[in-house]
Amino acid sequence: MSDPAPSTPTTHTNALIKEKSPYLLQHAHNPVDWMPWGPEAFKKAVAEDKPIFLSSGYSTCHWCHVMERESFENEEIAAYLNEHFVPVKVDREERPDVDLTYMTYVQAASGHGGWPMSVFLTPELKPFYGGTYYPAENQAGRIGFKNLLIELARVWKEDRPGVLERASTTITKLQDYLDSENKGQEATVDAVIQKAYDDLSGSYDYHEGGFSGAPKFPRPTSVELLFRIHLLWQGDKDKESEANWAAEMSVKTLRAMAQGGIRDHIGGGFHRYSVDGYWHVPHYEKMLYDQAQLLTAYVEGYQLSESPFLADISREIITYVSRDLGQADGGFFSAEDADSYAKEGDDHKREGAFYVWTAAEIDELLGKEEGSIFRYAHGARRDGNARPESDPHGELKGLNTLFRAFSVKKTAEYFKKEPAEVQAIFEKGYKTLFEARNKRPHPHLDDKVITAWNGLMISGLARAGAGLGDAAAIQRAEKAADFLHRNLCGNGPGKDLHRSWRDGQRGPRGFAMDYASLIHGLIDLYQASLEIRWLQWAVALQEEMDSRFLDRDNGGYYSVHTDMADSVLRIKEDYDGAEPSPNSLAALNLVRLAGMLDREDWRQQAAQIFHLFGQTLSGSPASVPMMVRAFDFHHHGKQQIVLAGDRTTDAFRALEKTIHSKLRPNLSLLHADSGAAQAWLGERNAALAAMKPVDGAPAAYVCQNYTCQAPVTTPEALSKLIDL
């Protein structure tokens, strides 16, 4: 192979043109003869006796775009790949099962992972070599993709038996390791919570907030766990300082992110992560699952601290998601790309182009005086504000990512202005820059509707609606749930959940994460709306999830359902990363549903999960914060409140407001409506059958460990009982 020359991608069309995935369609005109993951590709590999080259990524992945430009749009590399391999493309968001299987291999083999993921498989789908991004040519001791293809084709031809044997042995050993990793161990809740606190406080960045250096990720599940630790230890004299510090770490982190460039100060929402340790320069893509989880974290931060600023950030996230990721019929789209064209007519996209500004642009839009004030407060400099370590390739030279460098008060003092005048300049600046930015070419929108991510968003909206007293947020969550109920179920409304939807067509059947996330969202939506249909659907989905993913012998949930014949590994996920793991969420769902509906079988299933992952809970609880939350709820979530009466009355709403005004994470809320909903609940939880209003007035029954206090009818009396 000689030095590759760039191709004209639009002269080619491959099998991906028939797919619905935005990521696969991005590659439909590569000269690579891509095939989607499935039987046709597998048969081709067997018939032609070729290894499979599996490339997994997603449509808003920056380095996926880079590898496409460098290698997959290159005629010569593509020709060699087509001749010696069967190239297969996978959208990791649409097929998380395939991605998880081979990412597990890549991480075990290389010690790291990421996207694009590049794996070479035997025709029997067993991996024999893998990595992530490869440059087209050799670079600084790193093999280039062209030479890697040549070497692997040679090895396949000259040492076939060795390749097959090593691939088979690798899968066997990897499965043995996965099976032995969770041998089962009893964990002690107090020790787990103390260890989680110690680990998080030990990694905390005292200066900038967050729990790592660069790159710095939001980690909302860790923030939420610290809130719960604060509440658990509050009032304990021996734990008072630790309880206060748990809250301070969390609130400071939320504030630091909101002040930083990881937040889009012009359009709202949060970027994926910060490439530096200061939250200033982000990786600019925006993911629905980040918005969903951060929304919950900011709402809980507001409920704990009563900070109007945190409430405002919550509302801003809702505005962004509804405006830019909202699907017309109710669902939510997946993501917006980091890369875009800086202006119409450019020949290639650049990361962050939609979001960054020159100082001259800001001055031109706002005027020199107001532009100077706005730039000062938002860290915008004449020479750009990206530090060299945050911009090693110089792509942001002379450009500014806006972050809040100075408060309104300090800016007013510096420019000798009144704070109200400075605030008005800020508001005008946001509006003006938003309008100007909207004229730029927008980043690519991945318009898949993913069940799991919508479930998380439903949860966030429901929590926000309840915590902020925002009925519209609850209605938006219900609209999304209705969309999933109609469009993401393959066997009638509400049954046979599917993973994704796009352009009127469903994607593959749902995975454990889809079930767990949607159940999580539906429980929160029920507690925010008290509409019994959401709880009923959650119960039906939990039963369906149990039938398809539960390991009834050893406990826990497999990520992939049992009828996926092309899966070479059986994996039970526990790590709570960018998304919480299906086992962590399932454990929380089970303990919540068990308490609400008196389901001892689900309580035992949750206990099995805690035993199965007991080693992780005891040894590295900070890696599974959502599971620690579930473990905490399992032991401390014994308080139930049943509201009896007409929920449309002011008196009923006043009781609801009392419950939601503070963060009460281990509380279960149910509604006795004296009708069909109460009858359904009473069949499952006998204590609810007799609960009713008092002298015609809505009443609250506060129960602890299934022992209930006398009903109360005023917010003041309810508040005293809850806070005992």
- For 566-619, the pLDDT digits (tens) are 778 889 999 999 999 999 999 999 999 999 999 999 999 999 999 999 999 999
As a whole-number percent, the residues of the chain with pLDDT over 90 amount to 87
Q: Average pLDDT, whole number, for the chain?
A: 94
Last residue of a domain, one of 439, 464, 484: 439
Asked, for residue 432, whether it belongs to a domain, the answer is yes
For the chain, give the longest Cα–Cα distance. Answer: 89
- For 365, the domain range is 355-439
Co-location of 415 and 360 in the same domain = yes
CA-CA distance, 313 to 315, in Å (whole number)?
5
Co-location of 17 and 130 in the same domain = yes
How do strand 449-450 and strand 500-502 relate by DSSP bridges?
antiparallel
Listed residue (665, 613, 611) closest to 638, CA to CA: 665
How do strand 339-340 and strand 350-351 relate by DSSP bridges?
antiparallel
Last residue of a domain, one of 417, 439, 461: 439
pLDDT in tens, 382-439: 999 998 888 887 889 999 999 999 999 999 999 999 999 999 999 999 999 999 999 9
Asked, for residue 412, whether it belongs to a domain, the answer is yes
Find the helix or strand (DSSP H, E) in which 369 lies. Answer: helix 368-377
- Is residue 121 packed enough to be buried (19+ CB in 10 Å), middle (13-18) or exposed (0-12)? buried
> What backbone torsions phi and psi does residue 559 show, to the nearest 5 degrees?
-70, -30
Co-location of 166 and 246 in the same domain = no
How far separated are the first and last CA of the chain, in Å rounded?
76
Co-location of 265 and 168 in the same domain = no
Co-location of 30 and 169 in the same domain = yes
As a whole-number percent, the residues of the chain with pLDDT over 70 amount to 98
Asked, for residue 146, whether it belongs to a domain, the answer is yes
Take residue 359 and report the two structure tokens written for it. Answer: 């100082």
Co-location of 277 and 217 in the same domain = yes
Domain of 696: which CATH number? Answer: 3.40.30.10
- List C-alpha distances in Å: 434 to 316, 337, 369, 442: 14, 18, 19, 12
Co-location of 279 and 177 in the same domain = no
Q: Please, which contacts does 421-427 make with residues 24 or more away whose CB atoms are closer than 8 Å? A: 422/373, 422/377, 425/366, 425/370, 425/373, 425/374, 426/374, 426/377
CA-CA distance, 149 to 133, in Å (whole number)?
14
Residue in the block written with tokens 């043109």: 17
Listed residue (596, 561, 565) closest to 668, CA to CA: 596
Co-location of 49 and 167 in the same domain = yes
Residue type, 604: Q
Phi-psi region of 158 (alpha: psi -120 to 50; beta: other; left: phi over 0): alpha
Asked, for residue 561, whether it belongs to a domain, the answer is no
Asked, for residue 450, whether it belongs to a domain, the answer is no
CA-CA distance, 253 to 208, in Å (whole number)?
7
Take residue 37 and report the two structure tokens written for it. Answer: 């993951």
**Mean predicted confidence (pLDDT) in 10-23:** 91
Asked, for residue 89, whether it belongs to a domain, the answer is yes
Co-location of 273 and 369 in the same domain = no
Report pLDDT for 7. 38
Asked, for residue 566, whether it belongs to a domain, the answer is no
User: Cα angle vertex 275, ends 287, 411, to 5°?
Assistant: 95
Q: Are 498 and 551 in contact (CB under 8 A)?
A: no
pLDDT in tens, 703-718: 987 788 999 999 999 9
For residue 130, what are the β-bridge partners? 119
CA-CA distance, 423 to 407, in Å (whole number)?
10
Tally of domains within the chain: 4
Mark out the alpha helices in 34-159 (DSSP H runs): 39-48, 62-67, 75-84, 96-110, 145-158
Co-location of 148 and 247 in the same domain = no
pLDDT in tens, 626-654: 999 999 999 998 889 999 999 999 999 99
Global pTM exceeds 0.75: yes
Asked, for residue 241, whether it belongs to a domain, the answer is yes
Co-location of 209 and 176 in the same domain = no
The SS3 assignment for 90 reads: strand
Last residue of a domain, one of 406, 439, 472: 439
Measured in residues, the chain has a length of: 724
pLDDT in tens, 107-128: 988 888 889 999 999 999 999 9
Take residue 472 and report the two structure tokens written for it. Answer: 């519209």
The SS3 assignment for 451 reads: helix
The SS3 assignment for 340 reads: strand
Report pLDDT for 2. 38
Co-location of 169 and 217 in the same domain = no
Chain mean position to CA 139: 34
Give the single-character DSSP code of 263.
B
